Every structure is written in structure tokens, then in C-alpha cells.
Amino acid sequence: MKKKKVYLVALLFIAALVLFIWGFNFLKGKDIFNSEDIYYVEYESVNGLIKSNPVVLNGLRIGQVRDINFHPDMSGRLIVQLAITSDFPIPSNSVARIYSSDLMGSKAVEIQLGSAKTLINPNDTLMSAVEASLMDEVNAQVLPLKNKAEGLISSVDSLVVIMQTLLNENAQGNIIESLQSVARTIKNLEKTTATVDNIVTAEQSRLASILYNIELITRNLEENNGQISKILSNAANLSDTLVNADVAGTVKNVNASLAELNFMLSTINSGQGSVGKIMTNDTLYYQLERSAEQLNKLLEDVRINPKRYVKFSLF
């Protein structure tokens, strides 16, 4: 009887010890009755992720965070150990993303399945990603509003400065003078417009006549379009003829003729040649004058005394 009690006490003690160990591991997130595979993920920052945080796939918990340690190279990066109890195949390009699982900011790791045909093996390293925190999201949404508010405040400040400038006495005087100048300008424009209207009204008949004459000229141009085209064509042909003509040769011949004429005139002026001697020697002129005078005397004597020169005989 005593042995049975000893055995019963020993059995209860063992059962309590096993229950204690199981409960302790359960509280730590370990399930000693289920097999699990270990995977590793490298993060720059875990954003509050701690041990025993769940690992989920499509919203279903398939494991937990087993451990978090610094990288052995002391670079400050963190190595997270994931214990996954599910046998669901995980592609090698899957991503372990840290995200907020509730409004209180509790963290969890979500496995985002990739499209690779190869599967990841236990103790391999998954690719990592970190969801922006609620504060980051709020800042991202609020920052544009903040920038707009700052711009609006700056614009309001500028507007206040402008209003203060406008309310200054000197500025008010300048504004009043400017408005008066604008009013005078508008009045002058009105007078000018009225004058132009009067001129147009007074000269309406002449304007109509001018427009009619312009219309007649345009009509004549249209009617004589063929003749104008012929004139332009003849002018083009004349231009082509002048272009094709040996103008240079003609000018050269004319220059040669002028040179010969200049040489001839210079020869005559210098008294060379018969013509030059006649033109420059007055002896011939005097001789011709004396001969003409003697010839006149001879003719006069013949007229007065014809018998000296002409004899008539009848028998």
C-alpha cells in the first residue's frame, strides 16, 4: 500500500514536472509537441519586434519569433530567428515583412509568398521588409499639409506687409495720384474714341469711295492677270537674254574703240598726220585764204574784162 502511494506521488510529480515544462515553454511560445523549422531574416531595424511575436501567412499564424540578435559583424543589423511549425511550401524569393498587427502597435512578421519555383530550406535566410509605422504614415500624410500651411502663412505675412505698405500715408497719396492718372487716361481715351467716331462719320462717304476704288483696282488686276503674267514672262526672258548675252565682250570692244578714238584725237591734237597738221598749222589756212582772194579777183576781172580771156571770131 505504501509502495502504491510512493509510485502515485512519483507519477504525479513527473506529470507536474512535464506540465510545468510544457507550460513554461508554452508561455515562451514554444510547443514541444510539434516540430518546427528555423529560418533567419536580416533587418536594419525591427521597429519594436520582440520574441514570441507571431509569424503569419495570409492571416494564419504559422509560427513565432524565436530569437533576435545583433549581426556577428557588429554592423548594427539584426538577425531574427523565425520558428515555423507549418509544412506549407515557401518559395525562395518570399519576403518576411514586419508590420503592425493591431492598433496598439503590436508587431508581427508576415510571410509574403514569392513566385519562385524553388523552395526555401530550413536554416536559410528570407528577404526582409519593414512596414512603415503609424507615425511614419501620419507624418507622410501630414507633411504636405504642413508645407501648404507654412506656404499659406508666408503668403499671409506677405499680404499683411503689402496692406501695411498700402495703408502708409505716402503710399495712399501715390495710390490716389495713380487712380487719378488712370481716370484722366480713361477720359482722354474716351475723347479720342469720340473724335475717331466723328472722323469716321464725317469721312464715311470718302472711305466708301476709297474702298470702292480699291475694289476696282483689285478687279482690274484680276482681269489683267494674264497680261501681267505675260509682262513678267517677257521680263524674265529679257533677263535671261541679258544673262546669256556676251555683255563683257561687247563692253571690251567698246572700250577698245574708245581707246583708239582717244589715241586718234590725241594724235590730231599733237599735230601728227595730215589731219593733225591741217588742224594745228595755220599756214595752209592763210594760203587757202589768199588763193580764195586771188580767185575772187580773177573772177571779178573776168567779169569786167571778158575780152581779155575770151575771143570771138565770126569768120
Q: Looking at the structure, do residues 143 and 73 belong to the same domain, yes or no?
A: no
pLDDT at 133: 61
Let me know the angle formed at the C-alpha of 226 by 221 and 231, rounded to the nearest 5 degrees.
95
| Residue 71 shares a structural domain with residue 109 | yes
- Tell me whether residue 223 is in a domain: no
Q: What is the predicted pLDDT for the residue at 94?
A: 92
Residues 18 and 75 in one domain: no
Q: What digits encode the pLDDT tens for the residues 191-204? A: 888 888 877 777 77
Residue (of 265, 261, 242) closest to 253 by Cα position: 261
Is residue 222 situated within a structural domain? no
Domain CATH code at residue 116: 2.40.30
pLDDT for 275: 63
Report the C-alpha gap between 229 and 214 in whole angstroms: 21
182 is a domain residue: no
Helix (H, G, I), strand (E, B) or coil at 283: helix
| Residue-level pLDDT at 315 | 44
Chosen domain end from 83, 105, 131: 131
Would you give the DSSP letter of residue 70?
E
What pLDDT does 52 receive? 85
Contact 111, 96 (CB under 8 A): yes
Cα–Cα distance, 145 to 23 (Å, whole number): 51
In a domain, 315, yes or no: no
With respect to residue 48, please indicate whether it lies within any of the assigned structural domains.
Answer: yes
| Cell numbers standing for residue 160 | 499683411
Together in a domain, 72 and 92: yes
Residue pLDDT tens, the chain, 315 long: 566 666 676 777 777 777 766 666 555 555 555 678 889 999 998 888 888 899 999 889 988 898 899 988 888 899 999 998 888 888 989 999 998 887 777 889 999 999 888 999 988 989 988 887 656 656 666 677 777 878 888 887 777 777 766 666 666 667 777 778 888 888 888 888 888 887 777 777 787 888 888 888 888 888 888 788 888 888 887 777 766 766 677 777 788 888 887 877 777 777 666 666 666 666 766 777 788 888 887 778 777 877 676 655 444
197 occurs within a structural domain? no
Structural contact between residues 113 and 90, judged by C-beta atoms closer than 8 angstroms: yes
pLDDT in tens, 274-298: 666 666 666 766 777 788 888 887 7
Q: How far apart are CA 231 and CA 158, in angstroms?
A: 72
In this prediction, residue 314 carries a pLDDT of 46
Q: What is the pLDDT of residue 135?
A: 60
Q: What is the rounded CA–CA span in Å between residue 13 and residue 17?
A: 6
pLDDT for the residue 200:
76
* Same domain flag for 40 and 1: no
| pTM > 0.85: yes or no | no
Same domain, 116 and 52: yes
Are residues 110 and 87 both part of a single domain? yes
Beta carbons within 10 angstroms of residue 267's beta carbon: 13
Kindly state whether residues 87 and 142 are assigned to the same domain: no
Reference 33, options 48, 23, 45, 44; nearest CA is: 23
Q: Which of 86, 106, 131 is the last residue of a domain?
A: 131
Amino acid at 268: I
In whole angstroms, give the CA distance from residue 168 to residue 158: 16
150 and 162 fall within a common domain: yes
Same domain, 83 and 120: yes
Same domain? 25 vs 83:
no
The boundaries of the domain holding residue 22 are: 1-33
Does residue 158 lie in a domain region?
yes
Helices (H), the chain: 2-27, 134-166, 169-202, 204-223, 225-244, 247-269, 273-280, 283-304
The set of cell numbers assigned to 108 is 508581427
Q: Could you give the number of structural domains in the chain?
A: 4
Using CA atoms, how far apart are residues 7 and 181, in angstroms rounded to an integer?
119
Is residue 200 in a domain? no
pLDDT at 51: 87
